[in-house]
Amino acid sequence: MPERLVLIAEDDEETISSWKRDVTEFNRDATQPFQFVAEYAKNRREAIRALDRLRINCAVIDLRLPADDKPAGNNTEPIGNDVLEKLLLEVGVPAVVYSGYTQEASELVLRSEIRVILKAKGGAMEALRWLAGHDRLMSAMETTRKEIARESAKLFSRSIWPRWKNTLKSIEDGEVLAGVITRQTASHVAEQLGMPPAYHHPEEFYIVPPLSDRLDTGDLLRIAEDTFVIVTPRCNIARDNYPTHLMLALCKPMDGVWTGIRNQFNGNDKSQEKAARELRSYATQGHSISTHFLPPGSDFGPWLVDFREIMTVPSTEAAMLLEGRFASVAGQFVPNLVQRYAAYLGRIGQPDLDCDVLRTQVCK
């Protein structure tokens, strides 16, 4: 049976014994999709060390942990917040606050998806069952980390290490060296894991909410009743000072089109084939070059970005735009957005020819 490694940070011996009984009871339930393997930490130092050396799948953290293995005395500090914030900012696994002082959870913890459970009878089993409800997420994250580690190791052994003695070793500044390797690794991993035959789920198309603290190409913004996407090239927008104006393209809702496609899929075979062709045309950007398809997110879209509807906003209003930003187009999908915009701008066109005259030329 699959196993999930859970870090339980708790300093009270009686509570630890109770945890062990609850974990054993959970594992006896044959209907559960996996079994828990528990790693216990009695203070912040042990918990941080466990996070650094173990590949945990989830965690349960008491707030009032001792800092280290010295006698805690009357410990009243919510030191467990340090562990929880490391989980959020550096590790990234489902976690539970299990404490008699839940009101002491930090603002960062309370804003996150971390579950807060009051330490009471039955609370530990509630925490285990809540974590079990995230099994597919834990499994997916474990696979993700393994895939990233595998590609990182491949890059290291085949490229970075061989270049060490000739070039990379000459970079004496450790911070610069780490930056070079980090960017190369991130670039390689993204390219390799996104190569065909990978088919991307629409949820991959967006980062929600945006993680950058400044505007970027592909950011989706709400202005009044409309949605816009930033199409200013990243090479400009990434500089210390924005260009004097940012270019925004209008995102036109596709509610009617989407409803029509959905209805066709509920029709006869010919209707379904037509709907499939239309949907495939949007998914592969096979429609007019004047538009760009943005698929539906969890609670927004879909849209057609209309390159005929461009407006500029002074960069001095960047703070206002940030307030209306609700999603970002993921990095691997931004180039196509910008390329289609460039292709539209490069289509100069020509005056319409008289078709009747052309017909006489063909038929004479």
Taking only the tens place, the pLDDT of each residue in 195-224 is 776 678 888 999 999 998 999 999 999 999
Contact indicator for 302, 254 with CB cutoff of 8 Å: yes
Give start-end residues of each CATH 2.30.30.110 domain in the chain: 204-345
> Which pLDDT score is estimated for 364?
62
> Which pLDDT score is estimated for 72?
55
Both tokens assigned to 222: 């709400």
Looking at CATH, the fold of the domain delimited by 204-345 is given as SH3 type barrels. (2.30.30)
| Backbone angles phi and psi of 115, in degrees to 5 | -80, 135
Contact indicator for 9, 111 with CB cutoff of 8 Å: no
> Which pLDDT score is estimated for 290?
93
Give start-end residues of each CATH 3.40.50.2300 domain in the chain: 3-133
Contact indicator for 205, 294 with CB cutoff of 8 Å: yes
> Which pLDDT score is estimated for 71?
61
Both tokens assigned to 305: 């970005």
The owner of tokens 């989407």 is 258
Q: What is the dihedral of CA 18, 21, 25, 28, to 10 degrees?
A: 160
Q: Which of 244, 253, 354 is CA-nearest to residue 303?
A: 253
Per-residue pLDDT of the chain (364 residues; tens, 9 = 90+): 899 999 999 999 999 999 999 999 999 998 988 999 999 999 999 999 999 999 999 999 999 999 887 665 566 678 999 999 999 999 999 999 999 999 999 999 999 999 999 999 899 999 999 999 999 999 999 999 999 999 999 999 999 999 998 899 999 999 999 999 999 999 999 889 887 766 788 889 999 999 989 999 999 999 999 999 999 988 888 776 778 999 999 999 999 999 999 999 999 999 999 999 999 999 888 888 899 999 998 889 999 999 999 999 999 999 999 999 999 999 889 999 999 999 998 877 777 777 777 777 777 6
Residue 190, helix vs strand vs coil? helix
> Which pLDDT score is estimated for 116?
96
| Lateral strand order in the sheet of 245-253 | 206-207, 325-329, 219-223, 226-230, 245-253, 303-314, 291-294
Superfamily name with CATH number, domain 3-133: Response regulator (3.40.50.2300)
| Backbone angles phi and psi of 121, in degrees to 5 | -60, 130
What's the CA gap between 274 and 247, in Å, rounded? 36
Contact indicator for 97, 115 with CB cutoff of 8 Å: yes
> Which pLDDT score is estimated for 268?
92
> Which pLDDT score is estimated for 294?
95
> Which pLDDT score is estimated for 202?
86
